Amino acid sequence: MKSGEDYEALLAEQRARLQRIREQGTSASEPRTGGQEFAATAGDGAVRVVVRDRRLVTVEIAPRLIGGSRREVSEVLREAINQALARSLAESPQAGDPTPDLGSLGDQLSEFARRGAEELRRIQGAVERNMAELAGKVQISGDASPQYVDFLYEDALEVVRSMQSALAGSPSEPAVGEGWDESEEVEAVVSQGELAELALTGFALQMPPGELGGAVSEAVNDALIEWEERSAATANRGVDVEALRKLGERADAVRAQSMQHLRNYTDSMTSIMRNAE
């Protein structure tokens, strides 16, 4: 049951995100006012980042980090920024944000339906063998076959196939946002809701830690703004949000139908055993 529970937990998380999107209805251009702050550190505390309302508020850099290479400094900064940013984006999602791989979720639903059907057929086989062994010893009557298993399985697969076909119809490229600080010593690239690249010039590492932290904040926030604007502009061309909603509803329906069928099957087997003479 672990894989099934993980799948349901993932669907529940994404449905909660969609609900927050509907309730908030914010866009990148609307003003941002006080929200929850999320902090993260990296490099054994060499970098501390605070994010609020999907924007970097502070980037604190320890002087000891500046002695590293540009690549090393960049990696530590990216690690801390992405940790805090991921939590902030999850708290206040927007329609243009990246969604889970629905194709993969559909494959999982298909696999769970297949396993459920196989398990019911296995139970049916065991029951029929036991009834055959008891034939002639006791009088047993009734139908031990789990009816509608194939119909339920095929129904679930058809919904998944339709959804995957719709998703494959119009794939869209991920939106990308770029930003620089005022002196253009720091360049940031945001894609899929995370800081994909952070480039520092040699002069940037000569800045005082506080000044470098400010430059990083400016570049990353500019990149976030552009990414959100581009994501919002293309969100209406995708089908991920609606497909996720339908997938969640269908998964609930399949689960409810499966549980009802198991109850009916249990009742049928109980009736057969009671009629044994």
Convert the pLDDT of each residue in 75-113 to its tens digit.
999 999 999 999 988 887 765 666 555 556 666 666 766
Confidence class of residue 70 from pLDDT cuts 50, 70 and 90? very high
* 124 closest CA partner among 159, 97, 148, 89: 148
If residue 212 lies in a helix (H) or strand (E), which one and from where to where?
helix 209-235
Region 194-206: mean pLDDT is 94
Inter-helix orientation angle 70-91/209-235, to 10°: 50
| Angle formed at CA 95 by CA 254 and CA 32, multiple of 5 degrees | 135
Instruction: Show the beta-strand stretches assigned E in 31-163.
Output: 37-42, 47-52, 55-61
- The span from the CA of 243 to the CA of 103, in Å, is 10
Q: Is 6 exposed, middle or buried (0-12, 13-18, 19+ CB in 10 A)?
A: exposed
Confidence class of residue 145 from pLDDT cuts 50, 70 and 90? low
DSSP 8-state code for residue 178: E
Q: Is 124 exposed, middle or buried (0-12, 13-18, 19+ CB in 10 A)?
A: middle
- The span from the CA of 7 to the CA of 112, in Å, is 9
- Look at residue 144 and give its three-state secondary structure: coil
φ, ψ (nearest 5 deg) of residue 163: -65, -45
Region 53-58: mean pLDDT is 94
- The span from the CA of 267 to the CA of 108, in Å, is 29
pLDDT reported for residue 163: 61
Q: Taking 80 as the threshold, does the pLDDT of residue 202 lie above it?
A: yes
Range from 59-73, 99-113, 192-206 carrying the lowest mean pLDDT: 99-113
| Angle formed at CA 161 by CA 158 and CA 167, multiple of 5 degrees | 140
Confidence class of residue 176 from pLDDT cuts 50, 70 and 90? very high
- The span from the CA of 5 to the CA of 21, in Å, is 24
Range from 98-102, 185-189, 214-218 carrying the lowest mean pLDDT: 98-102
Confidence class of residue 30 from pLDDT cuts 50, 70 and 90? very low
Higher pLDDT, 68 or 31: 68
- The span from the CA of 111 to the CA of 274, in Å, is 35
Do the beta carbons of residue 235 and residue 95 sit within 8 Å?
A: yes
Region 220-241: mean pLDDT is 78
